[in-house]
Amino acid sequence: MAYHSVNPYDGAAGKAYPELSSPQLEDAMVRAEACFASWSATSFRHRAAVAAKAAYILRERIDEFSRPVTMEMGKLIAQSRAEVVLSADILDYYAANGERFLAPQTLTPSSGKAEVESSPLGVLFGVQPWNFPYYQLARFAAPNLMAGNVVMVKHAGCVPQCALAFERLWLDAGAPAGAYTNLFISYDQVNQVIDDDRIKGVALTGSVEAGRIVAGRAGRSLKKSTMELGGSDAFIVLEDADLDKTVAWAMWAKMNNTGQCCVAAKRLIVVDALADRFLAKFKEGMGALMPGDPMRAATTLGPLSTELALIHLLAQVRQAVAGGATLIMGGRRIDRAGSFMQPTILTDIAPGNPAYREEFFGPVALFFRVKDEDEAVALANDSEFGLGGSIFTSDVARGRRLASRIETGMVFVNHPTWTAPELPFGGIKHSGYGRELSSAGIQEFVNRKLVRVSSIDAPA
């Protein structure tokens, strides 16, 4: 079966769920379309009450929601709990601000009156990944449900219990059946859903390859889409950075969620004056990580999400070394049960090495030393990806100047790339297009309609 829980800590098989039959999928589509007719007619106040209730439930039942995240994809339990809270924050944010974000915008034409009003598009389809099983759903569902759309979601096959828990959350919060629909469907059925005339927009968070397929399919039907397709974020360290604090942030930026994060610090780019000391301290930090049961607070290194993810990452490291990279530490599977990989550092990565262009999704850091800030910016921009990036320096004005030169959708100064409900999230280049979160996220799938009122007097 395509939807199957397997605990990556010990390989124990959990629950499996069958894919929907064609009649079951059609029933879900009919229910969603019918729900849109009523949900879109409800008041913002009513939708906000449902979203706020869902946020309340997440916080009140935090252990119930966080446990499946750890059991299905191996996230450290403290991080799973933090994800539940972040998801609740997103729901609360749109409950509090959705109506304001979509309020009519008054324009001032040369004559008459005009305004832009926002109205929902209809049934939306989202394809979502496993690495943040609730956060990814929250940032898609919350703004769009508040806008009056309804959503259908195909979640990743390895986190089915999380998928079902989030669907049940909305029902428990008082949303009508069909407002939020989880779909256990095949790849062929994904294409069927995208092609269906009842679907008015498509959102994907996933790989570049998946993005090409889904965006291309949506484009054939002239449907609006948004794509968040991963990244290879640069973590730039200038010579005037606070070394100890910057290394601590580098560890967090690289190893949060065991490195399985679109905005993880995948490329550490350090000015030569600080490079040796930075690398020594960073290596020490990586070496101190302790693998173990992610349900235990003492564990600081969790497993990769699946055995296939581990196999793929190990192959990437082998290919990088074969291409001339130097393995500073790690690079192998940890000799224990579960899908654990040694924390790994690669350096001496030349432009011709496949590792120079690839995204490493796990506990593998790519280390680059550069001459100065100009070389750091050039290296950061020499990537097909353009999601996020960060710059560490004691001179904030300098950091802001360099941030303007980085070709990504997000740049942080003295903090790793991260997320918050009020901050727009998204990238450029092969990292995709469109924005989620903030006021921008709720504007992606609405009709911004111009209404112009003029004098009825005909021209002479």
For the annotated catalytic residues, the residue numbers are: 228, 262
Region of 19 on the Ramachandran plot (φ > 0 left; ψ -120 to 50 alpha; else beta): beta
Q: Residues with Cβ < 8 Å from 118, sequence gap 6 or more?
A: 102, 104, 147, 443, 446, 447, 448, 449
Q: How far apart are CA 425 and CA 431, in angstroms?
A: 11
* Phi, psi (rounded to 5 degrees) for 347: -140, -175
**Strand pairing category for 428-429 and 446-453:** unpaired
Does residue 203 contact residue 226 with C-beta atoms inside 8 Å? yes
Element (H, E) at 241: none
Q: How far is CA 324 from CA 2, 127, 317, 356, in A?
A: 38, 37, 11, 11
Instruction: For residue 419, give the 3-state DSSP assignment.
Output: coil
Q: How far apart are CA 377 and CA 382, in angstroms?
A: 9
Q: How far is CA 381 from CA 111, 231, 370, 392, in A?
A: 46, 12, 13, 17
Tokens of 12: 């124990």
Q: How far apart are CA 71 and CA 63, in angstroms?
A: 12
Q: How far apart are CA 423 and CA 443, in angstroms?
A: 14
- Looking at 128-229, which runs of residues are DSSP E strands? 150-154, 180-182, 199-205, 224-228
Exposure of 143 in the CB half-sphere (CA atoms within 13 A): 25
Partnered with residue 450 across adjacent β-strands are 116
Q: Residues with Cβ < 8 Å from 428, sequence gap 6 or more?
A: 386, 407, 408, 409
Tokens of 449: 């309609």
